[in-house]
Chain A
């Protein structure tokens, strides 16, 4: 799949339901290639739900339903012929809580490539090293790759999870509040990392921090009660929002 290498995500008239509860309504906007798009909005407005529609992780929740189109790199991912496993190789995900496997640092990174059939140790070594370097973690762990990933700090664990996602060579990275469990220093490291990563990856990030959205994103979408109220270049959203609600949220008047 993925013949059409536009490498963007287009969302058209997307509705999403948990059973009878509609969590997303009529969401329509595009996510450009090699840019950071931030999703902001008050708690419960559907940011995580929306993020999970892009790699179909919502499929794992019973009783959910999707209407509308999510087009990833030219393919409508809710059409029957789409292979969800293939989709998730192209669309990586980093979760809110760092969730390394109870395995060594090396095995965490090599996990994806191994499961995808790479057995050559030299090749695996190379992938592990590159992914860790990409995630700005190599220098901190290169002397203890065989140690358990559970034993490193939360910030390191989160970068490990990013490296793990990079190791299967995705085009798109979804991040759901990746720094909410981290201290300011670890957060700064991840933000720097995101800035570097957008050279090669399209990044969609959910954040509760206005400052973070302003610092790292090129585009911002403001969600409110399942709807996208406003979407556009970050600078414009933060400096000259068109909608009063956006302005209220950004200036901290509610949410």
Chain B
């Protein structure tokens, strides 16, 4: 009887583990499938020219240079705006604000910001940056909107990195007669910078693929010229895919869309990989 029971439990355990294994396999499998699907359909059109040339013939031929550059500008702009803001907000929340109800409310607010659908950010950007500040549909408006999209990611990553810094360091510094701000600048920030950078890079990875926030604020179907100022509108990789697929004027555009998707996917995966490497590297150093 006892023996049977044990066998039954072993069997049950095996069964549960198999199920868990299968779900993991499914998750990895789906990811693999997506990558395979996109790459097999798109890799054929990706070459150096594809990356370095303007689209030609009504976007049925040529490359994706303006979309690549546009995405680069938008993402750089967003991080330039969101990184300092997010890091300072995190510093304020972890180091200065007393652990009060207000702080809890702010934290809940930030977390909810992360859950807002990105098209809502797009509308917000349209009414605030494009219309109210009169920046127009431009790289500037798009960058600011994307910046707001990644702000919660950056705040949370920075907060975690700051909270991981042991209080002993803060106490040691304060006990030397050093002001709080100097302490943060000289001890706390240096110790948390790997985590902060990782958070920013993950933010970049996320925002590079965002379409909805830039539809109304920055992106354009097609430009004949590369952007020359932050007030120009720009093409962007994710929106370019959308444009190619929905234009529907020529079947030649579909492979180009997949090619663009290959580039985008490659970029996002590389960015995330870099973030992971940085985190692992410093994680090991700290142990």
Contact = CB atoms under 8 A, between A and B. Distances in A.
Interface of A: 55, 57, 60, 62, 85-90, 92-93, 95, 97, 99-102, 111-112, 114-116, 161, 164-165, 168
Nearest to A94: B175
Interface of B is mostly: helix
Contact of B173 (A89, A92, A97, A111): A111
Contact of A55 (B169, B172, B175): B175
Interface stretch (B56-64, B176-184, B260-268, B271-279): B176-184
Q: Which of A62, A90, A102 has the most chain B CB within a 10 Å cutoff?
A: A102
B168 A97 contact: yes
22 contacts: A60-B171, A62-B99, A85-B177, A85-B178, A85-B179, A88-B174, A95-B168, A95-B175, A99-B171, A101-B172, A101-B173, A111-B176, A111-B186, A112-B177, A112-B178, A114-B186, A115-B176, A115-B178, A164-B172, A164-B176, A165-B176, A168-B177
A90 B173 CA distance: 14
B149 interface: no
Contact of A57 (B175, B178, B191): B175
Contact of A115 (B169, B182, B286): B182
Q: Which of B169, B174, B176, B187 has the most CB of A within 10 A?
A: B176
A92 B168 CA distance: 15
A165 B172 CA distance: 9
Contact of A168 (B171, B176, B187): B176
A157 to B, nearest CB: 11
B176 A88 contact: yes
Interface residues of B, number: 19
Contact of B186 (A90, A95, A115): A115
A93 B170 CA distance: 13
B187 A101 contact: yes
B47 interface: no
A161 B178 contact: no
A99 B172 contact: yes
A231 to B, nearest CB: 25
Question: Which 8 pairs between the two chains have the least Cβ-Cβ distance?
Answer: A89-B177, A88-B177, A99-B168, A93-B175, A112-B176, A115-B178, A99-B172, A115-B182
A95 B168 CA distance: 9
Given A99-B168, A101-B187, A115-B182, A60 B174 contact: yes
Contacts of B168: 95, 97, 99
Contacts of B166: 99
A25 B285 CA distance: 46
Interface string B86-128: 0000000000001100000000000000000000000000000
Interface string B143-172: 000000000000000000000001011011
A95 B166 CA distance: 14
B164 to A, nearest CB: 12
A90 B177 CA distance: 8
A160 to B, nearest CB: 11
Contacts of B98: 62
A168 B174 CA distance: 12
A92 B175 contact: yes
Contacts of B191: 102
Given A62-B98, A115-B186, A99 B177 contact: no
